[in-house]
């Protein structure tokens, strides 16, 4: 909850931070598109997501492509009385590390980054999607790098943290949009097209609290859709209300299913990226909580490599249900796609401790199923959501 002055969009608009531009110079005058601007994005992150207080040390990590947002976040932290520290990486850096680091270095290379994080009060990670050279990287070495970095995730979880995305050209192309369209999409997804974004996120929190009230009384969750018939148990676990604090954008409720409870099969019809490779049409079969069969239309070797990361990678760490009405179309980026209203996602690997989940793994990989056409979720045998709509 904010303790400082509320973040108000009209104030930002007076600063010219929500300028609208013509989507098409030849279009009618009313055909306008919200232009991406890193300044209101940064202020939302600092004031709402991290709620930066005077003297707090905030680590801002991101790729060089996201420098405009990194700079505006640092400036916003300074205005809030905080102490920003910046760590940046270049496109393909993880690929280079996985391909070139000596065996004795690969497992310990992130010690300096870990030390930086331990000295902070909060962290912000800014995703800057870009093309790498993943075809040249051995899958086993990439898995070792992922395992080595698991300590970073654990350290971040002990602090306040948030994750967001800067709209790069690569992300736009991956989503099948122009850069201008994708920038506008990001602004809408994080509610910067609303008169009061914080109030809008409050409405999301209230909606999701009502969903959680019913979910918390359920023991069995059954997911059905074309190519999907999966049953999980969630009794005794805690449902988290993801209201934009840790992910921006957000809009989901999630928990950690009982580790031995998944039985059946599920088809993930929304493409999901892992280690720079897009996996499409993944199908998993579970028996007593463990993946016993895995296939994919594209990227099957990547799927299998992820499952073989460690023993926990074949179990589920999360069941999530998306609720963000501002995101309607998959983009190829999990930060947005798992929040689509009317979808459900399962994460292979590491549980979030706050849910009561116990699964340990170096990975946490979300895979998504769209339920808006012929799907449903039942709680203890009662249909609760059908065709993406809550009943």
Task: Give the pLDDT of residue 10.
Answer: 33
Q: Tell me how far apart the alpha carbons of residues 203 and 307 are, in angstroms, rounded to a whole number.
A: 37
pLDDT interval class at 104 (50, 70, 90) = confident
**Residue 160, pLDDT above cutoff 80:** yes
* CA distance readout (Å), 192 to 176, 262, 346: 22, 38, 28
Predicted confidence band of residue 135 (pLDDT cuts 50, 70, 90): low
- List pLDDT tens digits, range 52-99: 999 999 999 999 999 999 999 999 999 999 999 999 998 888 888 888
Contact 216, 239 (CB under 8 A): yes
Residue 287 gets which letter from DSSP?
A: E
Q: Which residue has the tokens 């929304």?
A: 270
pLDDT at 204 over 90: yes
Write down the pLDDT at residue 26.
Answer: 34
Long-range CB contact pairs, 148-156, < 8 A, 24+: 148/106, 148/107, 148/108, 148/109, 148/110, 149/110, 149/362, 150/350, 150/361, 150/362, 151/110, 151/114, 152/110, 152/113, 152/114, 152/117, 153/350, 153/364, 155/114, 155/117, 155/118, 156/117, 156/123, 156/125
279-330 tens-digit pLDDT: 999 999 999 999 999 999 999 999 999 999 999 999 999 999 999 988 999 9
**Per-residue b/e over 300-329, b at no fewer than 16 CB within 10 Å?**
bebbebbbebbebbbbbbbbbbbbbebbee
3 to 7, 53, 56, 107: CA distances (angstroms): 11, 9, 14, 41
Write the CA distances from 151 to 147, 158, 250, integer angstroms: 8, 11, 24
- According to the model, what pLDDT value does residue 134 have? 54
Beta bridge partners of 385: 377, 390
| pLDDT, position 370 | 97
Q: Check pLDDT > 70 for residue 221.
A: yes
* 179-190 confidence digits (pLDDT tens): 999 999 999 999
The arithmetic mean of pLDDT across residues 335-346, rounded, is 96
Beta bridge partners of 85: 59
Q: Which CATH architecture has domain 9-193?
A: 3-Layer(aba) Sandwich (3.40)
What mean pLDDT comes out for the span 230-248?
A: 97
- Nearest alpha-carbon partner for 344 in 361, 366, 326, 359: 366
Determine the 3-state secondary structure of 295 from DSSP.
Answer: strand
CA distance between the termini of the chain: 30
Give me the pLDDT at residue 288, please: 98
- pLDDT of amino acid 28: 33
Radius of gyration of the chain (CA): 21
Instruction: Quote the pLDDT of residue 7.
Output: 37
Give the confidence band of 16 by pLDDT, cuts at 50, 70, 90. Answer: very low
pLDDT of residue 29: 33
Q: Residue 352 pLDDT > 50, yes or no?
A: yes
300-307 and 139-148 are packed helices; what angle lies between their axes, rounded to 10 degrees?
40
Q: Kindly state the average pLDDT of the residues 358-380.
A: 96
Q: How many residues does the chain have?
A: 391
The label of the residue with tokens 């232009």 reads 35
Residue 219, pLDDT above cutoff 50: yes
Selection from 274, 256, 282 nearest residue 360 by Cα: 256
pLDDT above 50 for 19: no
Residue 42, pLDDT above cutoff 90: yes
Q: What is the mean pLDDT of the chain?
A: 88
- Segments making up each domain of the chain, as ranges: 9-193, 214-390
pLDDT, mean of residues 21-37: 48
- Rounded Cα gap, residues 1 and 202, in angstroms: 10
């Amino acid at each position: 909850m904010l303790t400082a002055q509320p973040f108000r969009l009209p104030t930002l608009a007076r600063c010219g931070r929500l300028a609208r531009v013509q989507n098409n110079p030849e279009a009618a005058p009313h055909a306008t598109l919200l232009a991406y601007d890193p300044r209101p994005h940064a202020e939302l992150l600092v004031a709402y997501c991290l709620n930066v207080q005077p003297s707090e040390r905030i680590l801002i990590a991101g790729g060089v492509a996201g420098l405009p947002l990194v700079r505006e976040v640092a400036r916003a932290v300074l205005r809030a009385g905080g102490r920003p520290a910046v760590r940046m990486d270049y496109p393909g850096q993880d690929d280079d590390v996985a391909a070139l680091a000596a065996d004795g270095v690969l497992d310990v290379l992130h010690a300096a980054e870990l030390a930086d994080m331990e000295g902070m009060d909060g962290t912000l990670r800014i995703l800057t999607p870009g093309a790498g050279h993943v075809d040249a990287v051995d899958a086993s070495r990439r898995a070792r790098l992922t395992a080595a970095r698991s300590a970073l995730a654990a350290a971040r979880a002990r602090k306040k943290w948030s994750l967001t995305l800067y709209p790069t050209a690569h992300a736009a192309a991956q989503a099948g949009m122009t850069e201008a369209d994708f920038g506008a999409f990001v602004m809408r997804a994080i509610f910067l097209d609303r008169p009061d974004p914080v109030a809008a996120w409050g409405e999301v929190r209230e909606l999701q609290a009502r969903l959680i009230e019913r979910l918390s009384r359920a023991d069995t969750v059954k997911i059905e859709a074309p190519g999907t018939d999966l049953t999980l148990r969630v009794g005794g676990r805690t449902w988290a209300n993801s209201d934009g604090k840790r992910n921006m954008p957000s809009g989901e409720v999630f928990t950690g299913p009982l580790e031995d409870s998944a039985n059946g099969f599920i088809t993930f019809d929304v493409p999901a990226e892992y280690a720079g490779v897009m996996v499409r049409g993944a199908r998993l079969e579970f028996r007593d909580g463990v993946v016993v069969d895995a296939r994919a239309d594209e990227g099957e070797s990547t799927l299998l490599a992820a499952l073989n990361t460690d023993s926990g990678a074949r179990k589920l760490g999360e069941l999530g249900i998306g609720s963000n009405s501002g995101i309607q179309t998959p983009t190829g980026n999990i930060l947005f796609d798992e929040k689509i209203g009317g979808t459900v996602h399962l994460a292979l690997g590491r549980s979030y401790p706050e849910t009561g989940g116990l699964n340990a793994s170096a990975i946490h990989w979300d895979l998504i199923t769209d339920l808006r056409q012929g799907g449903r979720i039942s709680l203890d045998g009662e249909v609760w959501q059908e065709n993406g709509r809550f009943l």
